[in-house]
Amino acid sequence: MIQVLVASFSGLIIGIFVGYQLRTILIKNNLSSIKTNFKKSKLDAEREAANIIRTAEIQAKTAAIKAREAFEATTREQKKQFAKEQEAINKREEILLSREQNLNSKADLINKKEAILEKRQEETEKFNISIKEREAKADALLKETTDKLQKLARFTREEAKQELFDEAKKELEEDIATLIKREKETLKETSEELAREIIIPAMQRYSSSHITDLMLRTVTFDDPMVKGKIIGREGRNIRALEAATGVNIIIEEAPNSVTISSLSPERRELAGIVLEKLIAGGTITVQKIEEMVREVTENFDTYLNDIGAKACAKCNLIENDKQILNKLGRLYFRTSFTQNVLQHSIEVANLAGMIATELHLDATIARRIGLLHDIGKALDHEIQGPHAAIGADFLRKLNQPEEIVAGVAGHHGEISNITRYAIIVSIADAISSSRPGARSESTSLYLERVEKMEKIANSFKQTKNSYAVQAGREINVIVDPTETTDSQAMNLAKEIARRIQLEVKYPGQVKVVVIRENRCIEYAK
């Protein structure tokens, strides 16, 4: 039993020892595993902590950068705002400084004006005192003179005043009339001499024929048989030609000619060209007439342009505007008192150029204005108004130089601002219109004009008789010398001239002569 017990006890002790060792080994193994896991966890924790720290550092840096950028942006904005405010403050300071300087200047000026006003006020007071003293002396003298006049002439104050006024007026009128007469005579002598020196050489240098355009155009041909072709069978050709051109064709006894009649010079010329072309072609039929009329009508503007270009060449001018050339060509078919308007314009242009040369002005400008001065007459049937204004508006629309436009507008004195060239063209226009043979008028119109001038002269109470002489270019008015003074005669001449200018249409100018003379007759026995 003892052995069994010993053996059991020994086995128990061995078992305990083995168990202890096993337990120790297990504990060591667990402890090693725990250490390993702890180290691994520690590494993971350190790694995670490093990542967290790194992320936090990055976020902190990013936030710091954003905060710095925001701060810098705010700082820049504040600096800009501060700069603006500073600039505004500087401007306000400048304005205030300027106002202060202005106020100082105004204050100095006000002080100076006050000093001047005070000085003037003192002078005014002295002057008023002097005036009062003089008024007192004048009143005393006037009273004394009035008393003497009333005693001597037994006039009332009003009667004496009126008598003195009438006497003074009469003396002044005579003195003024004498002075005006003397100055007029001097001015007239000087201006007439200067005008003769300028105009006569220009007129001597220029010569131009005056051909009167009638309302008829004659077409001639060599073959007498042509007249029968013009008439056509049963008058078909002549009726077709008259209907197509708007003219009357007169068949007279002359075998080698026919006459074209029309109130329109353009239609008359167009019909003449058509008829000449038909005669040259040798075939005259209704169809041929209509074709030829269409052809000539289509080319008629070119024909007018050629006429305008030839007119420019005669005036030594170059014109490229076809509208101006066309209107100049149309002036060839216009007449004024039977004077061809284009021929008149050419003559005015050349005369104006020569007068401008005598005056040392631009002759080319004067010639151009002279040639275009009546261009409004080519348009006055389309537009209402004076031909000078119509022509000026036409040239202005074509962008012509303002000097040319002003010269055309003012050549009849219908505007206030008249240029030198307008005056020159007006003179040339009068020379061309009034020279002998340039224009003609019917006897009835001439007599009507003369009678109207005499009627105007006789309408004044001072007139005894009046006579129109020099073909109506001069009117002599006879007055009673006992009832009319020299000054009244001069005023009468002015008034009659003004009335004639307003109420009578006439070429050139009319001379008004008021005759006041005393005739002393005695007989020796």
Q: What angle do CA 196, 202, 203 make, to 5 degrees?
A: 85
> For residues 262 and 214, what is the distance between their CA atoms, to the nearest angstrom?
10
Q: Where are the domains of the chain?
A: 1-139, 216-298, 303-434, 443-515
Residue type, position 128, single letter: N
> For residues 328 and 332, what is the distance between their CA atoms, to the nearest angstrom?
7
Phi/psi at 441 (5° precision):
-145, 160
- Following DSSP, what letter does each residue of 59-79 receive, concatenated? HHHHHHHHHHHHHHHHHHHHH
Fold type of domain 443-515: Alpha-Beta Plaits (3.30.70)
Give the three-state DSSP class for 19: helix
Could you list the pLDDT tens digit for every one of the 525 residues in the chain? 677 677 777 777 887 877 777 778 877 777 777 778 778 877 887 888 888 888 888 888 888 888 888 888 888 888 888 888 888 888 888 888 888 888 888 778 888 878 887 887 887 788 778 778 877 877 787 777 667 656 655 556 666 667 666 766 666 666 666 666 666 666 655 655 555 555 545 544 444 544 444 456 788 888 878 888 888 888 888 888 888 888 888 887 777 888 888 767 778 888 888 888 888 888 888 888 888 888 888 888 888 889 889 989 988 888 888 888 888 888 888 877 667 888 888 988 998 888 888 888 898 999 999 998 888 888 756 667 788 888 888 889 989 899 998 888 888 777 777 888 888 888 888 877 765 445 555 556 667 788 888 889 999 988 888 888 766 778 889 898 888 888 888 889 999 999 998 888 776 678 898 988 776 777 776
> For residues 427 and 12, what is the distance between their CA atoms, to the nearest angstrom?
168
- Identify the residue whose tokens are 């790694």: 47
125 secondary structure, DSSP code: H
What secondary structure, in 3-state letters, does 348-385 show? HHHHHHHHHHHCCCCHHHHHHHHHHCCHHHHCCCCCCC
What secondary structure, in 3-state letters, does 309-337 show? HHHHHHCCCCCCCHHHHHHHHHHCCCEEC
Please give the helix or strand (H or E) that residue 512 lies within, else none. Answer: strand 511-515
Q: Could you give the strand order of the β-sheet that contains 463-469, starting from the edge strand earlier in sequence?
A: 463-469, 474-479, 511-515
Helices assigned H by DSSP within 155-235: 157-205, 226-231
Give the three-state DSSP class for 250: strand
Work out the end-to-end distance of the chain between its first and last CA atoms, rounded to an integer number of angstroms.
236
Please give the helix or strand (H or E) that residue 477 lies within, else none. Answer: strand 474-479
> For residues 355 and 4, what is the distance between their CA atoms, to the nearest angstrom?
178
> For residues 394 and 399, what is the distance between their CA atoms, to the nearest angstrom?
9
At residue 210, the pLDDT reads 44
- Following DSSP, what letter does each residue of 188-201 receive, concatenated? HHHHHHHHHHHHHH
Of the CATH numbers 1.10.3210.10, 2.40.420.20, 1.25.50.10, 3.40.50.300, which one belongs to the domain with range 303-434?
A: 1.10.3210.10
Q: Is 169 exposed, middle or buried (0-12, 13-18, 19+ CB in 10 A)?
A: exposed
The per-residue pLDDT for range 100-127, each reduced to its tens digit, is: 888 888 778 888 878 887 887 887 788 7
Q: What angle do CA 399, 403, 408 make, to 5 degrees?
A: 85
Question: Class for domain 216-298, per CATH?
Answer: alpha beta
Please give the helix or strand (H or E) that residue 405 lies within, else none. Answer: helix 402-409
> For residues 510 and 452, what is the distance between their CA atoms, to the nearest angstrom?
13
Phi/psi at 413 (5° precision):
70, 25
Structure-token pair, residue 313: 């060449």
Answer yes or no: are the C-beta atoms of 177 and 486 closer than 8 Å: yes
At residue 456, the pLDDT reads 92
What is the b/e burial string over 455-494, where b = at least 16 CB atoms within 10 angstroms of the residue's CB?
Answer: ebbeeeebbeebebeeebeebbbbbeeeebbebbbbbbbe
Task: Taking each helix axis as running N to C, give the angle between helix 387-397 and helix 402-409, from 0 to 180 degrees, rounded to the nearest 10.
Answer: 170
Answer yes or no: are the C-beta atoms of 232 and 380 closer than 8 Å: no
